[in-house]
């Protein structure tokens, strides 16, 4: 009787290899660029266009805020632009996993688990982007990585395990 119960229990518990395989099946992952290349086609060019749109939006927001500072914001214009840009990127990434420019270009950012960005991930991604902009060599490395890696990940994407994809229909 004890032998039968042990056999039944042993049959129900997966081995460590099976448990690992089950965990991989249950945890969604971002699309594989080898088997699903359509998610990555044209993304670097779309990211560039989205960046241009987002830069124009951030500039427009900055100009719109200036009168509310009684134009004293002109004295700290680069800082004002940086703060407003950080807020814009963080909020839009947290609310839809894409900035307005990215939405216009039909791309989105996803975590390594293929989940949309939450507020902490959006803030970290924006911080990485801001540091890359502040250090031109890092930005250059990031651009080369976007153009040269299978998933098109920049430096911040690689560190955070995030990826830009064509938006799902």
pLDDT tens, position by position, 143-167: 999 999 999 999 999 999 999 999 9
Q: Are 95 and 121 in contact (CB under 8 A)?
A: no
Over residues 33-56, the pLDDT tens digits come to 999 999 999 999 999 999 999 999
pTM here is: 0.81
Over residues 80-108, the pLDDT tens digits come to 999 999 999 999 999 999 999 999 999 99
Q: Which two tokens stand for residue 78?
A: 């680069």
In degrees, rounded to 5, the angle at the alpha carbon of residue 91 between the alpha carbons of residues 113 and 120 is: 45
């Amino acid at each position: 009787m004890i032998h039968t119960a042990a056999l039944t229990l042993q049959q129900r518990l997966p081995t460590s290899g099976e448990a690992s395989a089950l965990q991989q099946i249950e945890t969604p992952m971002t699309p594989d660029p080898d088997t699903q290349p359509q998610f990555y086609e044209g993304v670097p060019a779309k990211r560039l266009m989205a960046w241009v749109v987002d830069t124009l939006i951030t500039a427009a927001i900055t100009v719109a805020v200036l009168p509310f500072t009684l134009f004293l914001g002109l004295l700290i214009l680069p800082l004002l632009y940086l703060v407003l840009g950080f807020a814009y990127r963080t909020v839009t990434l947290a609310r839809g996993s894409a900035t307005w420019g990215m939405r216009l270009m039909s791309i989105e950012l996803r975590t390594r688990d293929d989940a949309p960005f939450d507020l902490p991930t959006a803030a970290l991604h924006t911080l990485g982007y801001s540091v890359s902009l502040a250090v031109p060599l890092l930005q250059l490395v990031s651009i080369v990585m976007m153009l040269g890696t299978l998933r098109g990940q920049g430096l911040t994407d690689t560190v955070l395990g995030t990826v830009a994809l064509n938006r799902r229909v």
